[in-house]
């Protein structure tokens, strides 16, 4: 516990300093009650305004935005949440699986919990996909989306390979569900090994320096081995189905995105399976959206975490034009703030 508190204080001090402004942006841990426990997150900035809802990528957590948010407009609050099973959020019950559709329902519950008349999204990777899919389902509820290094779900293949992938997901789920149900403590590592495992597991996308921003929400100290830690994210998320639809569905669905959208693509990050399908959907969105902006940015898949200064200019320019909705007058849920 001391380790996590000390690291949390250190990270927040440095992310605020990164903005190089005299006035500090307040940041607070929050807990949103749900039927299986709580959704954890970080509320940045004023509490009397509707925040931008920030959604992280697969196996990441709200810490992914720690370096970017201090660069955003000081007067605009941001609520970065941990998806279920990620970060400090509660895990779903044993025997259950994680699926992107469930997170879409959760997002709708969060909108209703706060009594927002509109919702704005800042999403990375899986979070970008879910932001877009939520908008597809509720086009009139979303006032804008910012998508970092992803836009559309994986396309279903027109052959048996997806069946093979489904079988693999089932086998992984059984393996990790049994592991998660065990009373045994997960494998423990030194801090240096945790950093190495995270960076190498991301194929170098998360830099060594950036790992700490994700790890402080993903680790607990071992009670039996001093100076060693174990990962607390639910291993079942490794078998998670974010969402897969065929390309024809993607094209039709994404015609429903009418709000302004900013799409940033990292130039050192691969496309999911097919570059042409990505741009086919992007062209659809350009026609349907009231304002669609697309830019390449130099960096890896986690460019917003490693080099936030590369993306902040595009995001702030977009916000100046399209963040024009009313963010005031929302009921304050004091009970969620820790």
Q: In the 8-state DSSP scheme, what is residue 45?
A: S
- SS3 label, residue 266: strand
Contacts of 320 (CB under 8 A, 6+ apart): none
The 3-state DSSP class for residue 5 equals helix
Residue from 89, 90, 120, 125 carrying the catalytic annotation = 125
**What do you get for the CA distance between the two ends of the chain, in Å?**
16
User: For residues 46 and 178, what is the distance between their CA atoms, to the nearest angstrom?
Assistant: 43
φ, ψ at 256 (rounded to 5°): -85, -5
50, 114 contact by CB (below 8 A)? yes
Q: Is 269 a residue of the active site?
A: no
Between β-strands 37-44 and 78-81, what pairing exists: parallel, antiparallel or unpaired?
antiparallel
Q: What 8-state DSSP symbol labels residue 154?
A: E
Contact 296, 269 (CB under 8 A): no
Give the Cα separation of 255 and 261 in Å (integer): 13
Please identify which residue in the block is written with the tokens 């997901």. 169
Active site residues: 125
């Amino acid at each position: 516990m001391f380790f996590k508190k000390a690291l949390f204080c250190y990270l927040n001090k440095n992310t605020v300093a990164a903005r190089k402004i005299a006035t500090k942006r307040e940041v607070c841990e929050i807990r949103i009650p749900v039927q299986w426990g709580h959704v954890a997150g970080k509320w940045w900035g004023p509490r009397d305004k509707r925040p931008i809802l920030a959604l992280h990528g697969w196996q990441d957590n709200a810490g992914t935005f720690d370096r970017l948010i201090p660069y955003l407009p000081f007067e605009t609050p941001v609520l970065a949440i941990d998806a279920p099973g990620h970060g400090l959020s509660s895990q779903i019950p044993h025997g259950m699986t994680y699926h992107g559709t469930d997170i879409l329902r959760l997002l709708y519950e969060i909108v209703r919990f706060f009594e927002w008349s509109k919702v704005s999204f800042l999403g990375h990777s899986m979070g970008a996909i879910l932001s877009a899919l939520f908008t597809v389902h509720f086009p009139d509820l979303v006032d804008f989306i910012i998508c970092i290094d992803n836009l559309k779900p994986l396309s279903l293949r027109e052959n048996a390979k997806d069946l093979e992938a489904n079988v693999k997901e089932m086998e992984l789920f059984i393996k990790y569900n049994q592991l998660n149900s065990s009373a045994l403590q997960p494998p423990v590592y030194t801090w240096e090994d945790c950093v190495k495992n995270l960076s190498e597991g991301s194929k170098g996308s998360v830099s060594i320096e950036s790992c700490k921003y994700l790890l402080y929400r993903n680790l607990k100290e071992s009670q039996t081995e001093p100076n060693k830690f174990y990962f607390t994210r639910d291993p079942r998320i490794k078998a998670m189905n974010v969402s897969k639809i065929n390309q024809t569905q993607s094209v039709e669905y994404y015609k429903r995105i009418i709000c302004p959208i900013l799409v940033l693509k990292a130039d050192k990050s691969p496309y999911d399976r097919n570059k042409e399908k990505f741009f086919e959907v992007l062209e659809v969105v350009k026609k349907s959206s009231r304002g669609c902006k697309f830019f390449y940015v130099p960096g890896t898949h986690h460019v917003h975490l490693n080099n936030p200064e590369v993306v902040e200019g595009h995001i702030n320019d977009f916000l100046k034009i399209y963040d024009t909705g009313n963010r005031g007058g929302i009921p304050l849920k004091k009970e969620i703030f820790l």
